[in-house]
Amino acid sequence: MSAPTRVLWIVNIVLPAVAEELGLEKTPFGGWLTLMTDRLSARDDFDIAVAMRAPVKTLTRIEKNGIVYYAMPQSASDDFDVEAATVDQVLSDFTPDILHAEGSEMAYTRRFLRAWSGPKLLSLQGLITGIEPYELGRLPLLSMLNPLRPRRFFTALALMANLQLRYRPRLKFERETLLLADHIMGRTLWDRAHAWSLNPAATYHHCSRILRDAFYAAKWTPAGIRPRAVFLGNAAAARKGVHVAMRAAALLVPHYPDMRLYIAGQDPWKLSKG
């Protein structure tokens, strides 16, 4: 029997499986990452390690349920990066056969791809290069810059500053990241088109994602329908378009007074009071 393939998996969040051990709250995001580790850990033909940036002081190694987790301290100069020495430590400790990076938008993904000379697979989560034209959700920023409405004024300033100072500088690095991959994996035609345009030399692989168990356990039935209800999955960024949906709802309410919008995420009123 051949030895298991050793896969080092680079992810963008602290996985819930070890959040408690690190003294951190579990994140509700990236459910497919947790499901993939659970499924892969049950296989005998793979040895899996997960490297993730985390708000920790030193490189922390945790072994749990057959998987090795590396919590890497974030760089002091960039929360989206880790130090080169940390990357070297992780690669030296685990000695992978394959490096699998999840997502192209983080700086430390590029560090790992540069440092590793073996096979490299990059999974696309979302390309900031592709969504850049929609990042501000076509908000009327100029009209929001009204000093008589301070909250709107400072919100518009913050959005514009974030776009120029944090978002756009990352575009160049993301393109460099894609060029470092031998193989690119995506789910959609949009993924495939962008992968080809940014790195036509890489081999592209289609792979649909698994979802959290709750999505497979729930069953849709006509009896459970809430008439005139619209569910929006995320309001965390302007590109999600919640402000557009709310304007549309305002136009529809006079005709459908029982219409309701359900928006997942934190309560904005509590956040504004905090």
pLDDT at 57: 92
With bands split at pLDDT 50, 70 and 90, how would you rate the model's confidence at 251? very high
Q: Name the token pair of 220.
A: 């849709």
Three-state secondary structure call for residue 67: strand
Of 24-33, 138-147, 247-256, which one has max mean pLDDT?
A: 247-256
CA distance 103 to 123: 6
Interval 246-261 mean pLDDT: 94
Q: Which two tokens stand for residue 259?
A: 């219409």
Q: What six digits make up the tokens of 140? A: 């009327």
AA letter at 121: L
Q: Does 125 or 60 have the greater pLDDT score?
A: 60
Residue 31 above 80 pLDDT?
A: no
The average pLDDT across 94-103 equals 94
pLDDT for residue 105: 80
- Catalogue the E-assigned strands of 55-202: 60-64, 67-73, 98-102, 120-123, 183-186
Mean pLDDT of 77-91: 91
pLDDT of residue 272 exceeding 60: no
3-state secondary structure of 251: helix
Which tens digits make up the pLDDT trace of 99-148? 999 988 888 899 999 999 999 999 998 888 888 888 888 888 888 888 88
| pLDDT at position 274 over 50 | no
Supply the pTM of this predicted model.
0.82
Tell me what pLDDT residue 168 has: 84
Q: Average of pLDDT values for 47-68?
A: 93
CB 108 within 8 A of CB 77: no
Percent of the chain with pLDDT over 90: 46
pLDDT band (50, 70, 90) for residue 271: low
Question: 170-201 pLDDT, tens per residue?
Answer: 888 899 999 999 999 999 999 999 999 999 99
Evaluate whether 3 touches 93 at the Cβ level (below 8 Å).
no
- CA pair distance 133, 145, nearest whole angstrom: 20
Name the average pLDDT for the chain: 88
Take residue 210 and report the two structure tokens written for it: 């698994």
Nearest partner of 210 among 34, 28, 60, judged by Cα: 34
Q: ∠195-8-66 over CA atoms, to 5°?
A: 135
